[in-house]
Structure formats: structure tokens, C-alpha cells
Amino acid sequence: MGREMKRLTLFALAITLIATGFAAKTPYQAVLQHSRIRGRTHGPNVCAMQKIQGTDKKYFTNCKQWYHRKICGKPTVVSYECCPGYEKVIGEKGCPAALPLVNIYKTLGVVGATTTKMYSERAKLQEEIEGPGSFTFFAPSNEAWAALSTEILDALVSNVNIELLNALHYHMINKRLTSDDLKHGASFPSMYQDFDVHIHHYSNGIVTVNCARLVKTDQHATNGIVHVVDRVITAITNNVNSLIDTDDDLDTLRTAVAAAGLTNLLENEGSYTIFAPTNEAFEKIPPETLTRILGDPVALKDLLNYHILKNLHCSESIVAGTPLETLQGTVLEVGCDGEEMTINGKAIVTQRDKLGTNGVIHYVNELLIPDSAKTLLELVEGSVVTTASKLFKDAGLTDHLIGSEAVTLLAPLNDAFKDKSLAMTPDLKKLLRNHILKEKFSSKSLYHGQELETLGGLKLRVFVFRNSLCIENACIAAHDKNGRYANMFIVDQIVAPPMGTVMDVLKADDRFSTLVGAIQRAGLTELLNKKGTYTFFAPTNAAFSAMPPADLNKLMNPKELANLLRYHIGEEFLVSGAVTSHTRMKPLTGDKLELGTRNSTVYVNRVPVVETDLMATNGVVHAVDVIIKPLHLLATHLDLQHFSCAAVYGRVRELSDFIKNILICVPKMNEGLTGLERHEGGSWVSN
């Protein structure tokens, strides 16, 4: 009965969240409603808030933040407070009473903006905000005033009748605007010389005015409405290009913008985010690289566009890592780590939220160089293929990696070189030349059966599988790296060009001497020499030696021998990189072969493949040390020698992990509903 009630409660919560999500008018209202739902067990009009530990920053909570209990990568504490517009009543649960409706001046005291209230009185604004009218007041919190520099604050309070009054009037709009009216990208004339204030209402529920976050919204008054903001805002009069022009810290950027022809873009209307590299950021780049990019209009434009986001993002809008599109066409991962704003995981933002009429500037102390502005060598050196990078340079191929040659590099992952000699020999040099294709290719343009010519003169084949795209045995393991002139494909293996037919491959390897004789006796030599696309799971000498004498005797019959060998030959071509957890292949004779991978090992009918991808012109050879039998025979006879202990252990472990996850997940699903909570002195704290 208890379990059923929990399920019904969980179901009801899900329906409520969906229903209120559809009913919500704005992203802010959506998170507010979610916070109400999380707080409703504490009484009416109670909202759950998440506070970042060690700070005073609080947020209404969304579903993701609620379960992760993190904002900007830092843990949060959940507290329960009265929702906007409500207050507690002694002796009653929750926040049943609406706040008293008074004028804006008194409302400032009610919402805790007492410093703004004090300055309003000193600037002779009190009479105006007590009197008739319909105003919106973006009131700085006490902490916002405290964060102002002494110099700025002294300038304001030393001339209260002009400077302070003007500053406060800039926080006011001569009409009532609720959070629903604060649309993303909207601007409203302030009561200070009609200078606009700029609103951004983000999809995560964050609302900002001139990049100041609204921390308490919709506090209604008899003559308007109050929204408390987390900083004092200033009038915006210049576009972002003017801001760059007048900052000595951005001299190099200013020169680069002019050279790339982007001045008009930054002067015209828009809503951009610019990660502006300081002079220091440019100085960190090797001189030869910087000279090359500054002298190449195409690379320079790509470089600068990579620093410009298509949409305006104030720092307060970022509460978790988010991929955001740049004018260059690719994305930057913009996130935060506590108080630090991050780009691609690095805390390189030194100054935030310098707002212009057409965008916002965040200063960065590192230059962000997109792949499209890099040489092939820079692509290789800046990626995970460090072993390949060293080998290409040791092989004397640097000229092909730094020039303007239109080529494509096949760069194997570091793991591909494990247990292989890295001594530079003529054969290794030749092999590495065959990892450079003569044209600049995109993986999206490759097709099955295509042939790609290398610098070494070979033609490599393209194989398209359901989940893999491979060039010979090497499957592409990551997205293309598209450089200024050349591209790079990161591949999972060293490319192994074909060394003759399947029969030639077997004859050249002493491990298959018994198999070669068997093929000849079974009359299959011609088959394995002719054109085709075979996959041969080739038994080694050890496989034949391990066969019971009775089974070996059966192979004296050429027909029996041919059937056994044909069961080891698949009708289609399949390299190891294309094998998934449940791959099936039809052999030339008999039931389908069942393939899978575990711990980087390929299995066929539970038999581990000891060496994969011996490439041939008419197929591929995979070596096995055990004769493969149909699965139904394994199940019938319990032929345990063909079972891998690792495979059995893996199955048991998978089942164990599955059960463990169920035991862990079920309580966590109910945690939000049934977790113990305590009431402490008028505020609520989650355990």
C-alpha cells in the first residue's frame, strides 16, 4: 500500500509539473512555479530557493538544479521562503498573507532594499515615489550598494541633488512593468533623460536589466512595482565598437577588427556577446602564429568571429556550462565555476558585463583560436593525438603540416601505438606518408567504396557501416578538425593498407600454416583469391591443435572440412571498429555468427579474436585461437572451453550493477517527496 501511494504521489507531481509548465507565461514564471511546487509541503505561497554555499546568491530552482543540487558547479543549500508578494503569519503554516500594498517608498523597506530607500530620501526622491503615478523601480539591493567602489559612491553621495538623483532616476521607468512584461531583448526609456535600460529574459528563468540580475521580482505597490536587482546600473550610451576604441587594454583587438573589416558590424544594431582578448592575450601567442593569422584576412576574420556570440549573454545568465553559437559557425562552451565565468572549461574571463547599446563585452586573457584559423600542425599539436604528432615530425613530414597544401591527415589515437615500436625506420616513414590524403576531405562527403589517394601513392578504401565510417581498418573516432587549408580525421587505429588477397595474407603469416593447408584440401583457394568482400575469422595453428582428436578426424572428409571453414567466413566485409555490442553476420554456411565487443576485445560466438583487421584486397582477416562453433551447440553441450571467463564475469557484473542501480535510484526518485525536513525558527532547511 505504501509503495502504491508513493507511485501515485510521484505521478501526481509529474502531472502537476507538466500542467504548470504549459500554464507558465515566461521562463521566469516557469522556475517560480517549480519552486512553488517544491515548497508547497511547507504551506501556501512557500518557494524553494537554492543558495550557493559560501555566498549570498539565491535562485529559484528548476528541475535540473533541484536534482543536481549545484549552481555554477558549486553545491547549494535548499531553503524555503515566502514567494514574492507574500509574508508569514504567526501561528499559521506557510505564507498565507499578501504583503501590504503601500507606495514604492515604503515597499523598498518591505523588500529589504533599505539602502535604496535611504538614498531616495537623501536625493529628495521620496516625495515622487510616495506620490501618484505608475512607476517601475529596479531597486539595487543593500549588497549592490556595498559593492560599489568608494570613488563612485563618494561621487554620488557628494552631489545628491544631481548625481545621486540622476542615478536613481535611471533605475526607474514611468510605467508599471511586471516580470511578464520584461521580454528578452526589450528596451525601455528610463526617467533619466530617456536613456534606455536593456532587458534580457533568458530561457533558464534569469531576468536581467543592464546585466544586473533581478533577485526579487514583482513587489507590487500602490503607485507601481519594485524589482530588486543585484547591482547598481549605469546609463548605456556607446556601441561595443566605441567601447573597444576607447580602451587601451584592447589596442591589438582594435587593430585586428579594422583589418578584418568588422568595424561596421560592431557599430550597427545587434545583440552580440564579445569575448574581447586583451593585449596580454595576443602577446601569449607565438609570434610566428600571430603574424601568420594577422596577415591572412580569412583566418583573422574567423579568429575574431569565434570570439563573438550570436546573442547577448550577461554573465548572470550563465548558471551551468552551455554550448553557444559564434559568428564563426562553431560553438563555445560558456559556463561558470563559482564566481568565475569560464570558456571551454577555462576561467579566462577577467572583466565581465561591459554593456554597449548593441552588445556586451567580457574581457579574456587568452586568445581563442578556432580550428579554421589553424595549420594542420597546430591542429595536431592541439589535440589528443600527441604520439602521432611527434611521429609525423620525426618522419620529416612537417612541411606538409604547416603549408597551404589542401590535404587530409589521418591521425591515430595514442592507444593505437601501444606495444608498437616507434623507432623511425624507412617502413614507418612510408606508412606515415600513407596517412596523408592528397585532397581536403570532409567525413560527411565520404561514401562507401570511394578510393582516397595518399602521398605515398596508395589508394585507401572507404567503408560505411551503420555506426562507423572507416578508411581501411581505421575508423573515424571524433568529429573532423577543419583547419585553414587542411583537415584532420582522428582515427582509432594505424591505417593498414591491404597486402594482397585473403589467401595472400594467410600465406604470409606462419600462424596460419595449418589453415592454408586445410583451405587447399577443402578446395577454397580460388574463392579466397577472387574478388569479393569476405570477413574471415581465421583459426590459427593453436586453434587446430586444441581440437579434440575426434573432431580432427572428421576434418579428413573434405566436405566436412569445407563446411567448417565456410562457417568461419562472413559474406560481408566487417572491420573491428564497426562491431557493436550486438552485431550479427551471415557466414557462407550455417547459422548467423554473433559478434560483440567487451573491454576492447571482439568476440565471435563468444570466442575472443586475438588479432583484428589483417586487411586484404578482397576482405579482412581476424585471427582466433579457438575453432568457432554454432551457439546452439555451445548451449547444448556446455562446451565450457569456448566460454570466456571474462565474458561470464562481465554478464554477472552487468546484472549486479543493474540491481545495484535500482536499489540506489528508487530512493533518489522519492527523495524530493519523502526526504525528511525540519523547521527552524521561521525558515525551512532541507536535510
Residue 70 is part of which domain span?
27-97
pLDDT digits (tens, 9 = 90+) for 623-652: 999 999 998 776 544 444 444 444 444 454
223 lies in the same domain as 244: no
C-alpha cell at 483: 583547419
Query: In angstroms, rounded to a whole number, what is the distance separating the alpha carbons of residues 564 and 555?
Result: 8
Q: Is residue 565 part of a domain?
A: yes
512 lies in the same domain as 409: no
390 lies in the same domain as 297: no
512 lies in the same domain as 616: yes
Q: Is residue 163 part of a domain?
A: yes
Instruction: Specify the pLDDT at position 24.
Output: 52
pLDDT digits (tens, 9 = 90+) for 541-557: 999 999 998 888 888 89
Query: In angstroms, rounded to a whole number, what is the distance separating the alpha carbons of residues 375 and 194?
Result: 50
Query: In angstroms, rounded to a whole number, what is the distance separating the alpha carbons of residues 319 and 336?
Result: 6
Instruction: Specify the pLDDT at position 648.
Output: 45
E-strand stretches of 278-407: 308-309, 322-325, 331-337, 340-343, 349-356, 359-364
Percent of the chain topping pLDDT 90:
80
Region 571-578: what's the mean pLDDT? 94
Instruction: Specify the pLDDT at position 517.
Output: 95
Q: Which of 491, 522, 547 is the last residue of a domain?
A: 491
pLDDT digits (tens, 9 = 90+) for 203-217: 999 999 999 999 999
Q: Is residue 667 part of a domain?
A: no
Q: Is residue 401 part of a domain?
A: yes
Instruction: Specify the pLDDT at position 657.
Output: 53
pLDDT digits (tens, 9 = 90+) for 243-282: 999 999 999 999 999 999 999 999 999 999 999 999 999 9
pLDDT digits (tens, 9 = 90+) for 72-129: 999 999 999 999 999 999 999 999 999 989 999 999 999 999 999 999 999 999 999 9
Instruction: Specify the pLDDT at position 497.
Output: 93
C-alpha cell at 407: 590535404
In the predicted structure, residue 663 carries a pLDDT above the cut 80: no
pLDDT confidence bin for 160, thresholds 50/70/90 = confident
CB 71 within 8 A of CB 52: yes
360 lies in the same domain as 404: no
Furthest CA-CA distance within the chain: 111
Domain of residue 451, CATH code: 2.30.180.10
pLDDT digits (tens, 9 = 90+) for 296-347: 999 999 999 999 999 999 999 999 999 999 999 999 999 999 999 999 999 9
Total structural domains within the chain: 5
Q: Is residue 130 part of a domain?
A: yes
Mean pLDDT of the chain: 89
Region 146-162: what's the mean pLDDT? 90
223 lies in the same domain as 107: yes
575-580-585 Cα angle (round to 5) = 65
Instruction: Specify the pLDDT at position 375.
Output: 95
CB 595 within 8 A of CB 603: yes
338 lies in the same domain as 278: yes
Q: Is residue 686 part of a domain?
A: no
388 lies in the same domain as 344: no
β-strands 272-277, 359-364 pairing: parallel
3-state secondary structure (DSSP) of residue 637: helix
Distance of CA 442 to the CA centre of its chain: 22
Of the two residues 681 and 200, the one the predictor is more confident about is 200
Q: Is residue 588 part of a domain?
A: yes
Q: Identify the residue whose cell numbers are 521562503.
A: 81
Q: Would you say the pTM of this structure is higher than 0.85?
A: no
Q: Which of 442, 460, 491 is the last residue of a domain?
A: 491
β-strands 487-491, 408-412 pairing: parallel
The amino acid at residue 345 is G
Region 171-181: what's the mean pLDDT? 97
Instruction: Specify the pLDDT at position 7.
Output: 54
In the predicted structure, residue 158 carries a pLDDT above the cut 90: no
Q: Is residue 683 part of a domain?
A: no
CB 525 within 8 A of CB 447: no
251 lies in the same domain as 294: yes
527 lies in the same domain as 572: yes
606 lies in the same domain as 524: yes
Instruction: Specify the pLDDT at position 638.
Output: 43
> Three-state secondary structure along 547-563?
CCHHHHHHCCCHHHHHH
User: Cβ atoms within 10 A of the Cβ of 230, count?
Assistant: 19
> Lowest-pLDDT range, 212-216, 281-285, 382-386?
382-386
C-alpha cell at 217: 521580482
Instruction: Specify the pLDDT at position 65.
Output: 82
Query: In angstroms, rounded to a whole number, what is the distance separating the alpha carbons of residues 394 and 475?
Result: 24
Q: Which of 431, 460, 491 is the last residue of a domain?
A: 491
352 lies in the same domain as 244: yes
Query: In angstroms, rounded to a whole number, what is the distance separating the alpha carbons of residues 389 and 384?
Result: 9
